[in-house]
Amino acid sequence: MPRSRVVAEYEKMQNDIKTSARRQMAAHGTAGLSLRAIARELDVSAPALYRYFPNLDALITALILDGFNALADALEAAERTLPPTEPRAQLRAALLAYRAWALSHPIDFQLIYGNPIPGYVAPAEVTVPAATRQLEILGRITDRAFAAGQIVLRRELTEIPPSVRAQLARIAEPYGTSVEVLHTCMLGWTRIHGAIQLELFGHTPPVVGDPAAFYEQLVDALIETG
């Protein structure tokens, strides 16, 4: 069998396993994953799955990486819909894309940001770089908007507790961004993320009526006030 066909079949089986895992999580929650159940659904033996994922933790890690990278890819795609000379508009597009991806992929979103899976410990050396891609994207767009004068940081956002400033400085330095911009991004991220989580779990729709309009207003307020 040609090597390219072997690789294609191997990757297809990996994707089939992950698709089955997502169906399990949709039915039983992120803690409901079972390699035996996946094997039954795919009509293979449980040991056969170890050729593709050596254990359940490896499968969970692969799903987490898929989720983080797909979300970051969605933000970058939204960024590219507008010219670099319009970073403020790019930031708005990216923040709207954040919600759109979460609503389109609720299982993946809950896996990467929901309740921890009992017994699973994410390998930081693999998952942290993928997890930080989103903040890097939003940070670089915000940096450009700030440099272009399209976003002005409010004074109260630049008054950062010393302990928080010290940690942010360690994170900001490798990326060449300022602590103030990173702090502003973190404040904005927690607000949009909280709104999305509340919407996904059905808390805000009965209250606000139109969660899409509510979220857009939140995004516009964040961008307007810096």
Q: Which CATH class is domain 62-225?
A: mainly alpha
Q: What is the pLDDT of residues 153-188, one digit of tens each?
A: 877 777 899 999 999 998 888 777 888 888 888 888
For the chain, the structural domain boundaries read 1-54, 62-225
CB 97 within 8 A of CB 78: yes
* pLDDT digit string, tens, across residues 97-117: 999 999 999 999 999 998 788
**Reduced 3-state DSSP string for 4-62:** HHHHHHHHHHHHHHHHHHHHHHHHHCHHHCCHHHHHHHHCCCHHHHCCCCCCHHHHHHH
DSSP letter at 117 equals: P
In the predicted structure, residue 138 carries a pLDDT above the cut 60: yes
Confidence of residue 63 (pLDDT cuts 50, 70, 90): very high
Q: What does the pLDDT read at residue 116?
A: 82
Spatial distance between the Cα atoms of 74 and 216, rounded to a whole number of angstroms: 17
Percent of the chain's residues with pLDDT above 70: 98
Closest alpha carbon to 107 in 142, 71, 157, 80: 71
pTM of the model: 0.90
Fold of 1-54: Arc Repressor Mutant, subunit A (1.10.10)
| In contact, 68 and 127? CB cutoff 8 Å | yes
* pLDDT value at residue 226: 55
Q: Model confidence at 59, in pLDDT bands (50, 70, 90)? A: very high
Is the per-residue pLDDT at 3 higher than 70?
A: no
Burial pattern 58-93, b for ≥16 Cβ within 10 A else e, equals ebbbbbbbbbbebbbebbeebbeebeeeebbbbbbb
19-51: per-residue pLDDT in tens? Answer: 999 999 999 888 888 899 999 999 999 889 999
% residues pLDDT > 90 (the chain): 68
